[in-house]
Amino acid sequence: MHDLETRELRYFVAVAEELHFGRAALRLGMAQPPLSRAIRQLERRIGVRLLDRDRRGVVLTDAGRVLLREAGTALDAVAAAARRTRRAGDPERPLVLVTKAGASHELLQRLLDAVAGEPGAAPVEVLLCEVGEQARLLRDGRADVGLMHRPYDDLAGFDTEDLHTEGQVAILPAGHPLASADRLTLADVREVPDLPIARWPQLDGSYPDGPGPEVHTQSQLAQLVALGRTLLVIPASSRAWQWPEHVAVPVVDAPDVTTVMAWPSNSHSPAVASLVRSATGLRAAVPTTVS
């Protein structure tokens, strides 16, 4: 069998996602007949049926569902390779460091100050993102290195260096009775009927079951806490974005969270290696307990 072409994979992904040849052709900016011919040729080359077609529409076969998953990964890898190549060809480009907005603020500031003081160090551009987005930005080549958090972030396929381990705090509305506590347990924060824990999207984009509000951005979450509609449990160092209407209380039995520096395992960038060395040199300067 000949190797698959990225053009064929793009055609198939469009049809598989739209489940309609007309809409897929419109999305691709082409006529429907050549798209149909290309998909039939792809099926002949692979030797399996990818789509079931009838008057009611298009349905993916089991083989088609596998190819949709694999094609997405392959196309992402091709796009990432192109981005990394363009970036490597620009000797003046800064390193892009991605991190969740508001997370590990003190550590990030120390790192940027340390890099600024090193002669010849590559400049660092900070890319702020929402929860769970660092892995995608590293994999698709839009970022070189990231500050991430174990056990919550997806670290598969990355090399990492541990930088800082800490406890967690509950962020509560200042007027709530729990806000006056010296410390809380996970049972305390999970059993507050008037203040359900906010729910973040999972890796597949769906939300876990629960009574708490669905949130996608830090700003949504911050305002909902201030309005007395939810609470959250986060690493103590993420309190940088805390509003005056918020109170942070240590959660004594919450699992520790480790801030790590992560980068693609296939990276051979001297600039990334230098940044990692700068970051690991800061470990002793960062407190490891919740005050």
Predicted local confidence at residue 130, as pLDDT: 87
6-87 carries CATH number 3.40.50.1820: no
The confidence band for 291, taking pLDDT boundaries of 50, 70 and 90, is: very low
Q: Which long-range contacts (CB under 8 A, 24 or more apart) does 123-127 make?
A: 123/94, 123/95, 124/94, 124/95, 124/96, 124/97, 124/275, 125/94, 125/95, 125/96, 125/97, 126/97, 126/98, 126/99, 127/96, 127/97, 127/98, 127/99
Could you tell me which residues are beta bridge partners of residue 98? Answer: 127, 146
> What confidence category does residue 170 fall into, taking pLDDT thresholds of 50, 70 and 90?
very high
Under the banding of pLDDT at 50, 70 and 90, the label for residue 290 is: very low
What are the pLDDT digits (tens) for 58-111? 899 999 999 998 888 888 878 877 777 776 666 668 899 999 888 888 899 999
pLDDT at 53 over 90: no
User: Is the whole model's pTM more than 0.85, yes or no?
Assistant: no
Does residue 252 sit in helix, strand or coil? coil
pLDDT band for position 113 (cuts 50, 70, 90): very high
Enumerate the domain spans of the chain.
6-87, 94-157+258-285, 168-251
pLDDT band at 285 (very low <50, low <70, confident <90, very high): low
What pLDDT does residue 132 have?
82
Q: Write out pLDDT tens, residues 123-168.
A: 999 999 988 889 989 988 889 999 999 998 989 889 999 999 999 9
CATH architecture of 94-157+258-285: 3-Layer(aba) Sandwich (3.40)
| Count of helix runs (H) and strand runs (E) in the chain | 9, 10
Closest CA to 16 of 55, 71, 56, 77: 71
**Hey, what CATH class is 168-251 in?**
alpha beta
| 55 pLDDT above the threshold of 90 | no
- Read off the pLDDT of each residue in 1-6 and give the average, rounded to a whole number: 74
- pLDDT score at 288: 46
Same fold, 94-157+258-285 and 168-251: yes
Mean residue pLDDT of the chain comes to: 88
Average pLDDT, stretch 254-266? 93
